Amino acid sequence: MKKIIVLLVALFNLSFFGYSQVDTTLIKKDTLSYYDMSLEQLLSLKAHGVPSELETLINSLISVSSKKPINVRETPSIISLVTEEEIKKSGARDLIDVLRLVPGFDFGVDIEGVVGIGLRGNWAHEGKILILLDGQEMNETLYGTTQYGNHFPIEQIKKIEIIRGPGSAIYGGFAEYGVINIITRQAEDINGVSVSGTYGQMEKGFGRKNVNLSIGKKTKDFSFSVSGFLGRAQRSDQTFKDYTDSSYSMNGQSNINTNYVNAVLGYKGLSLRVIGDFYKLQVRDSYEKIASHAVSHEFNSVFSELKYVYKVNNKLTITPKFNYKTQMPWKSPAYDNESVFSKTAVRYRENITVSYDANRFLNVVLGAESFQDYATDNIDSSYFSNGKKTVHYYDVAFFTQGLIKTRYVNIILGARYDKHSAVSEDAFVPRIGLTKKYNRFHFKLLYSKSFKAPTIDNISYADSNCIHSEYTDFREIELGYQITRKSIITINGYNINTSEPIVYYTTQDSSSITDSYKNYGKSGSIGLEAEYKMKDKWGYLSVNYALYSVLHKSRIDDYRTPNDMSLLGFSNHRVNFCANWNITKDLSINATASWYSKRYAVTSLDSLGQAVQTSLNPTTLINCFVRYETPVKGLTIGAGVYDLLNQKIKFIQPYNGGHAPLPGPSREIIVRIQYNLNFKQKIN
């Protein structure tokens, strides 16, 4: 043991001393030539010299939580930033692998084999976490869900900005609990052609066969890029067991097919983007039992955006944009006792945002937004609750934000007002944030109200046709301390209280199951998250811990467990670990691990038909990936093992909704090859 400790300490100290030597060399630069810089050259001077790798990361500017770019340590939200480097070196198979390492995030299963997201113990699948991909709202508008599992093109991602907290004061009714802002590689990043392929092999069957292709080019005023992703995967190769212990093998019966294209044309401040996203799941997991055969559920979407960033002058920027999305989510055929489902939902959205820098200490953002939802039931015998084949809703919103920088504290005040045509009570969500960085130390003190607006089918299936927005109060605090130039520790606490959440429930009679929604009770959680990060030229290391509890909190009956601290499906304690070592300039090895404390799941029904819960043992997922940039310019290869211990972690339904835990993949060996052909001249 002592030898290991000595070795560890020696390694850390070696790395630090190595850095010190670099500093000494810098000091010996030729002073005379330095003082002969031209006036123009002065413009590039930095106030704090050459930043370390970590400082570059933690001081990078992001705008996800403020519209106005602010550095990560002072931006008014609890933030996680995932970089392209981290994604590539970890060998992440999909977004689930990436988000699992972010404090507070976890996944569960909804209905029909769809895997959704939860945050801080709360099931957030139905429109409570906003997913933006290059600014496009990916949540479908019937229920607000986003589907996970080999869905998004992980190899095309440049960075992910994550708000682990409310975002409604900026983004409205889908951002109640969080925002995941995915930014893919743009024309200037691609600047050529990029091709990659991934193959994954589980114990009993293939895991995934993915192909990515990107092409892009930017000149001074003009840019274009087209990126495509073709994914063929399996959710699992394990055996699914329903409540009655009936089972089937998911190998060959849990296919996930993804076809995706993202194209953008830009000229100066004007851009036109179109995204096609066609996602198909093969499922046999039906309500409380196994379907007689595998059935396909489709989620087809087309997103488009026309945007113009008009910089009137150095102080004023006006950004009008128009978005159009058409979707056919949850499309499924008739099978067993289930009816065919086919609805088309269209959303038009208009937005204008004005950002004004009054001076260096004051920025004001003003905006107005409206959207119109149109939905059509494509099945002859099926109607919306208004008795018609179509429904139409609209929403008008205004939002504002003021950022005041003072020597002692940054003050962020903001609010958003939404008027929805189907909701009697208008939504108003204010926020206030106090943040500041004092050299090594930083703090954030945040209060925000947020809301989730009812979606088209929330309204359509509303209990007694009366449903309204749910509201959440967030109180958060974050403290951070930069221990050295290469390491930082942050700790944050939160208290979430949701009033009258929109709850999904089912009622069953002899012939059919009826879906319903109603505002009911209270929910929320309290907890803390801590993260230690170290980053340097040799690689990086991060460890984070997340705790949530619902002790002394009101709970929704369908989310309860026998443990007063827990909610269904989500571990109270999570520990994530990520380490990357750049063995040489071209070769890196990456290890990630996630530890879950015990979880509760509904696994069977008793003789009265009541849910029986089981406690699932703590689980550890360990993954390893090696990446090598070959001597052939642009060619990179990688290989790794996911779920090294073969724990086969299950996706648990985080509410009592008639579905047994869905097995995840077994140990998966993946190989990846990528080739980038850069165009000769890169213009920034």
Partner 1 sequence: MSFFNNIVRFKTNWFFVCFMMLFFNGHLKAQETDYKSYALYVYNFMKYIEWPESQSADNFVIGLYGDSPISNEFKVLAAQKKLKGRTIVFKQCKTIDEAAGCQLLYVTSSKSSSIKPLDEKYKDKSILIVGERDGTVYKGASISFTTTDEDELKFEINKKNIDSHKLKISSSLIKLGTVVK
Residues interacting with partner 1, by CB under 8 A?
1-2, 5, 8-9, 12-13, 16, 19-20, 31-32, 34-35, 37, 39, 42-49, 51-52, 55, 59, 61, 69-71, 360, 407, 439-440, 482-487
Cβ nearer to partner 1, comparing 293 with 311: 311
Cβ nearer to partner 1, comparing 277 with 536: 536
Here the tokens at position 547 are 């705790």
Cβ nearer to partner 1, comparing 34 with 585: 34
Q: 503, 576, 489: which is closest to 531 by C-alpha?
A: 489
Least distance (Å) between residue 544 CB and partner 1: 16
Least distance (Å) between residue 535 CB and partner 1: 13
Cβ nearer to partner 1, comparing 268 with 440: 440
Beta-strand relationship, 662-663 and 105-109: unpaired
Least distance (Å) between residue 75 CB and partner 1: 11
Least distance (Å) between residue 273 CB and partner 1: 26
Cβ nearer to partner 1, comparing 111 with 403: 403
Least distance (Å) between residue 21 CB and partner 1: 12
List CB contacts of 377: < 8 A, sequence separation 6 or more: 342, 343, 383, 384, 389, 390
Cβ nearer to partner 1, comparing 17 with 464: 17
Cβ nearer to partner 1, comparing 56 with 512: 56
Secondary structure E strands in 439-553: 441-452, 470-484, 487-499, 502-508, 513-519, 522-536, 539-549
Least distance (Å) between residue 148 CB and partner 1: 34
Here the tokens at position 452 are 């989730």
Cross-strand bridge partners of residue 562: none
Cβ nearer to partner 1, comparing 44 with 464: 44
Q: Tell me the one-letter amino acid at 345.
A: A
Cβ nearer to partner 1, comparing 297 with 442: 442
- In angstroms, the CA 486 to CA 536 distance is 6
Cβ nearer to partner 1, comparing 34 with 607: 34
Q: How many CB atoms lie within 10 A of CB 489?
A: 15
- In angstroms, the CA 301 to CA 346 distance is 10
Least distance (Å) between residue 595 CB and partner 1: 17
Least distance (Å) between residue 52 CB and partner 1: 7
Q: Tell me the one-letter amino acid at 234.
A: Q
- In angstroms, the CA 493 to CA 542 distance is 19
What are the distances in angstroms from CA 480 to CA 102, 110, 265, 442? 17, 36, 40, 5
Are 525 and 106 in contact by the 8 Å Cβ rule? The answer is no
> What DSSP assignment string belongs to 296-322?
EEEEEEEEEEEEE-EE-SSSEEEEEEE
> What DSSP assignment string belongs to 59-86?
T-EE-TTTSS-EETTTSSS-EEEEEHHH
- In angstroms, the CA 254 to CA 204 distance is 13
Here the tokens at position 518 are 């109603």
Least distance (Å) between residue 531 CB and partner 1: 15
Least distance (Å) between residue 86 CB and partner 1: 21
